[in-house]
Structure formats: C-alpha cells, structure tokens
Structure 1
Amino acid sequence: MDRLPLAYSTALRLRDAGLSDDAIARRVGVEPEAVGPMLRVAEAKLASVGYDDADGGTR
C-alpha cells in the first residue's frame, strides 16, 4: 500500500476499518461522491502491482 498516494491508502484503510463514505470523505478531504471512484482506482493500482490483500501483501 505504500505505493499509493496517501489519500488513496488512507481511504482503503478507513474503508477496511468500517467507516462510511461520508466519514472517509471528511478524513481525506474529498466530496463523498468521490470516495467510491477513489477506492476503485486504489484497488486497481494495487492489483496492477500484484498486491493481494488476502495474503497480506505482494505476491
């Protein structure tokens, strides 16, 4: 996750902690409508470098 911009990695961690999109938006400084796309981009970036959350890191 250290390959992601801070806002993206923070958003992923907050989502994994169970925070709502509104709460995530407030914490990372974006509009609530931007959280979903931000999370999808972050997940795509992680997938492109082989990061697999299920095994705790890179393959």
Structure 2
Amino acid sequence: MNYSANINGITVSASFSDTTVNEVFIPLLKHLAQLHHEKQRRILVMLAAPPATGKTVLAQT
C-alpha cells in the first residue's frame, strides 16, 4: 500500500506491505481506539523507530 502525506509543506511518500498494514498497523490502531473508548479520555501514544520508517504517515492515517 502506498501513502502520501504533506508534512510541513513537503510531500512524503511511504510504501507498506499489505501484511504489515493488516497484521501490525490495523490491529495497533484498533487497540488504541478501544483503549480510548474504555478510558473516555485522550490517550498519549509515543512512537519510537528509526528515521523514515513511517511514524508520521501512521500518525496521520
């Protein structure tokens, strides 16, 4: 899957395999949404990974 985002005026493109999206990103986002629903308040999520691994793209999705 290919994604494109405009970050501070710079277009950034990222490509993720369907496996990564379906087995990592979607379950993570579902878990965070469920946690948010249970807590009934904002939650803070910190992403730590090497540069250019898709942190910003994931956060904007």
What range is the shorter-chain TM-score in?
0.3 to 0.5
TM-score normalized by the length of structure 2: 0.33
TM-score normalized by the length of structure 1: 0.34
The structure with the larger Rg is: 2
**Higher helix share goes to which structure?**
1
**Higher strand share goes to which structure?**
2
